[in-house]
Amino acid sequence: MRLVILDNYDLASEWAAKYICNRIIQFKPSQSRYFTLGLPTGSTPLGCYQKLIEYHKRGDLSFKYVKTFNMDEYVGRSC
C-alpha cells in the first residue's frame, strides 16, 4: 500500500482520478476482458468522480468495458 500526502482535497481528488484513469488505460479493457472498479459511497470521493467524468467527456477515458460496484461501508458490519 502507498501513502500519498497532498496539500488539499482537490489535489488528492485529481491524483486519485489520474491513478484510476491510468490503471484502466494500462489494463486495456475489451469485450472479453473487463476492468472491475470498486466505488466507495459517500461524499468523500465526489471530487475524484467529477474528475473521472471530466476525463470521459474530453475523450481521454472510456468506461465501455469497465464494471463497477459500490462499496457500502455497512456491508459485513454486525450489530
Mean predicted lDDT score pLDDT of the chain: 92
Residue 62 lies in a domain: yes
Higher pLDDT, 16 or 76: 16
Q: How far is CA 50 from CA 3, 11, 21, in A?
A: 22, 13, 12
Instruction: State what percent of residues in the chain have pLDDT above 90.
Output: 81
Structural domain count, the chain: 1
More reliable by pLDDT, 23 or 74: 23
Round to whole Å and give the CA distance between 8 and 3.
Answer: 15
- Give the phi and the psi of residue 68 in degrees, each rounded to 5: -120, 155
Helix pair 46-58, 9-27: axis angle to 10 deg: 50
Q: Can you give the residue range of the structural domain that contains 49?
A: 9-71
pLDDT in tens, 53-62: 999 999 999 9
pLDDT tens column, 14-49: 999 999 999 999 999 999 999 999 999 989 999 999
Residue 59 lies in a domain: yes
Question: Would 56 be classed as within a structural domain?
Answer: yes
CA distance 39 to 63: 13
